[in-house]
């Protein structure tokens, strides 16, 4: 009876509030956790005329520490202080009109999972499987289109929504684990209620809501938990630089400076060098960071302190809520540099062993290195980002495979790019890749040459850093040679009922597809059980006549301990590799076996490398143990 009375009373208050024009349309975040280092949570409260009200909380251990009002009377920023002694539970926040409760809104304090702060992020022991969720698998056809969403499913349109969802990823976690991958990175899962091109996820319209055409927030958490049981961590794709043009902030922004250049669309110049360039014109630097990425993606002003706190808290919320093991941060250098430093620092203060990798799409290692934790920058910027995506190495690898071999072309470009590792504070924390959702697939660039494709995949699996692989390439999804996003992000065969072929079961695959899939499975499972590929040192030899050789070895055991030799032969014919040059690692007493099939390999004065191949050998002295 008391509960019924309380519900009736709350309803009466809500009705009265609406009569006076008071109503809360958004209150974010809607919960927090006891025991967080970040224990002062600033709530963004949005509703008509809400600034006229005063917030009040009656809950042991929770107090209103600060209330900030801005130029828009439809906003309040309410800071709650949460004591370590606070009890988890459902509470409410009253918004007072004098002595009268004008609006009562529910809120919640939760209990953290055991060991949450000590979670291990991904590192070089891992391998990442990148997925475009809308194109991977459709396990729930009931959410292909959703009420209130502008864009409905149209699988016939390469740039439309195809219906892939979180349920599809959950269904195929065993497949991903079986390939040897230990991390799953889906492109953004949050609401993208845009009229077109909404499938890719980078024009977010609600930072606390999963897109209903993919699933729910609870589905994200279930995906994370089920993945973890299979030894797979979940990496979230975070966007700090911009939002979608249909975000409700555009209709009622908290402040005039919430969105950069809000009065008229001005596109960024994409000149990422201006951040570090000592000669850059200030106007060019400002246009890079403050211009809109595209017309449908308004640029956020992270210099606004309330927005900065909102974005930091949103990241912490998702890590804690979804049990994430890592973050990939989109368009990293486009955001305000000081904010990026503060954001990464706040995440690592809460989760010291967490993993984050930023996207700085540049062929210049110095530009990428600027953002990595530990870099001493001439401009005084102090970065806290643990890792970065290794675009310089990706660009060099793809160029090396199509260029003719010469004094300054071909493999030498890849060799010299890796030689630039001295500019990085920690090159082992970089994420290496041959292709992703923004590049044409390697197979297309190589005109379908499967042998060279295998060489490229072998390289990312054996060089330093954490490898990232793009879904579907294991069954030779190709797409066009020139970048076309809708086509390169093709549907995974077997992800839709009625597909002629099924990558997950193997049904209907061609012999070439089966061969490629088996190669990826053998390669990454071998990498998974070979520690020297995770944290071993790397020594490479200058490429000669189309052959590039490097070794991964245990620096603590010396160069004649357990070692992996990688010999990349780009030539169209078998090539005899003289071994005398590699005496640091290969002696007369050394034994070798093929890393993938375990067959013994004779090491004489030379080694015959098959045409267009990656030869992967485990090497040990005659009296030493072979690889794991």
Is 39 among the catalytic positions? no
Q: Which long-range contacts (CB under 8 A, 24 or more apart) does 220-224 make?
A: 220/166, 220/189, 220/322, 221/321, 221/322, 221/323, 222/166, 222/170, 223/166, 223/169, 223/170, 224/322, 224/323, 224/324
- 207 CB-near residues (< 8 Å, 6+ apart): 28, 190, 243, 314
Does 597 qualify as catalytic in the annotation? no
- Positive or negative torsion for Cα 366, 372, 374, 377: positive
Q: Give CA–CA dist 163/199, Å, rounded.
A: 9
Q: Which is the catalytic residue, given 206, 359, 421, 474?
A: 359
Beta bridge partners of 288: none
Say which of 126, 140, 299, 330 is annotated catalytic.
330
Q: From the CB of residue 190, how many other CB atoms can be counted at a distance below 10 Å? A: 26
564 neighbors 553 (Cβ within 8 angstroms): yes
CA-CA distance, 516 to 511, in Å (whole number)?
A: 9
Q: Give the pairing type, strands 466-470 and 431-433.
A: parallel
Prior bond of 598 cis (ω within 30°): no
With CA atoms as reference, report the closest residue to 371 among 390, 350, 399: 390
Name which of 571, 553, 580 is nearest 615 in CA terms: 571
Catalytic residue numbers, as ranges: 330, 359
């Amino acid at each position: 009876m008391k509960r019924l009375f309380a519900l009736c009373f709350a309803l009466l208050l809500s009705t009265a509030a609406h009569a006076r024009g008071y109503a809360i349309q958004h209150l974010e975040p809607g919960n927090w956790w006891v025991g967080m280092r970040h224990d002062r949570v600033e709530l963004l409260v949005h509703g008509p005329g809400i600034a006229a009200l005063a917030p009040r909380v009656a809950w042991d251990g929770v107090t209103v520490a600060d209330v900030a009002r801005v130029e828009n009377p439809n906003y309040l920023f309410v800071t709650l202080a949460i004591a370590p002694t606070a009890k988890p539970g459902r509470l409410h926040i009253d918004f007072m009109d004098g002595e009268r409760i004008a609006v009562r809104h529910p809120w919640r304090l939760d209990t953290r999972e055991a060991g949450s702060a000590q979670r291990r992020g991904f590192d070089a022991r891992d391998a990442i499987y990148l997925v475009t969720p809308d194109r991977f698998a459709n396990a729930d056809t009931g959410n292909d289109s959703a009420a209130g969403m502008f864009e409905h499913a149209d699988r016939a349109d390469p740039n439309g929504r195809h219906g892939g969802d979180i349920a599809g990823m959950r269904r195929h976690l065993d497949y991903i684990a079986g390939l040897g991958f230990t991390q799953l990175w889906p492109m953004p899962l949050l609401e993208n209620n845009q009229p077109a091109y909404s499938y890719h996820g980078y024009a977010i319209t609600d930072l606390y809501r999963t897109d209903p055409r993919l699933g729910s927030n609870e589905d994200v958490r279930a995906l994370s938990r089920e993945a973890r049981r299979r030894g797979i961590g979940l990496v979230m794709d975070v966007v700090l630089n911009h939002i979608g043009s249909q975000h409700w902030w555009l209709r009622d922004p908290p402040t005039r400076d919430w969105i950069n250049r809000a009065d008229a669309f001005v596109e960024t110049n994409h000149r990422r060098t201006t951040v570090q360039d000592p000669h850059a014109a200030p106007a060019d630097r400002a246009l890079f960071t403050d211009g809109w990425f595209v017309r449908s993606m308004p640029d956020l002003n992270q210099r606004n302190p309330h927005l900065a706190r909102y974005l930091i808290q949103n990241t912490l919320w998702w890590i804690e809520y979804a049990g994430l093991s890592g973050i990939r941060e989109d368009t990293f250098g486009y955001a305000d540099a000081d904010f990026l430093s503060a954001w990464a620092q706040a995440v690592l203060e809460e989760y010291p062993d967490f993993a984050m990798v930023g996207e700085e799409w540049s062929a210049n290692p110095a530009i990428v290195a600027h953002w990595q934790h530990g870099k001493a920058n001439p401009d005084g910027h102090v970065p806290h980002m643990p890792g970065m995506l290794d675009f310089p190495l990706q660009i060099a690898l793809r160029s090396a495979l199509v260029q003719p071999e010469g004094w300054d072309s071909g493999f030498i470009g890849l060799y010299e790019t890796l030689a630039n590792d001295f500019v990085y504070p920690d090159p082992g924390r970089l994420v290496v890749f041959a292709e992703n959702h923004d590049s044409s697939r390697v197979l297309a660039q190589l005109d379908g040459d499967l042998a060279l494709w295998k060489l490229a995949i072998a390289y990312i699996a054996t060089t330093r850093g954490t490898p990232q692989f793009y879904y579907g390439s294991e069954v030779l999804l190709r797409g066009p040679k020139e970048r076309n996003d809708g086509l390169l992000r093709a549907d995974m065969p077997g992800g839709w009922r009625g597909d002629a072929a099924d990558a997950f079961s193997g049904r209907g695959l061609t012999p070439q597809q089966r061969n490629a899939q088996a190669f990826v499975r053998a390669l990454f499972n071998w990498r998974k059980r070979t520690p020297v590929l995770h944290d071993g040192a790397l020594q490479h030899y200058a490429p000669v006549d189309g052959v590039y050789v490097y070794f991964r070895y245990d620096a603590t055991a010396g160069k004649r301990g357990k070692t992996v030799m990688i010999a990349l032969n780009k030539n169209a014919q078998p090539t005899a590799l003289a071994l005398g040059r590699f005496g640091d690692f290969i002696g007369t007493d050394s034994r070798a076996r093929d890393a993938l099939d375990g067959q013994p390999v004779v090491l004489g004065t030379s080694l015959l490398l098959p045409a267009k191949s990656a030869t992967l050998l485990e090497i040990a002295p005659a009296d030493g143990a072979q690889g794991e």
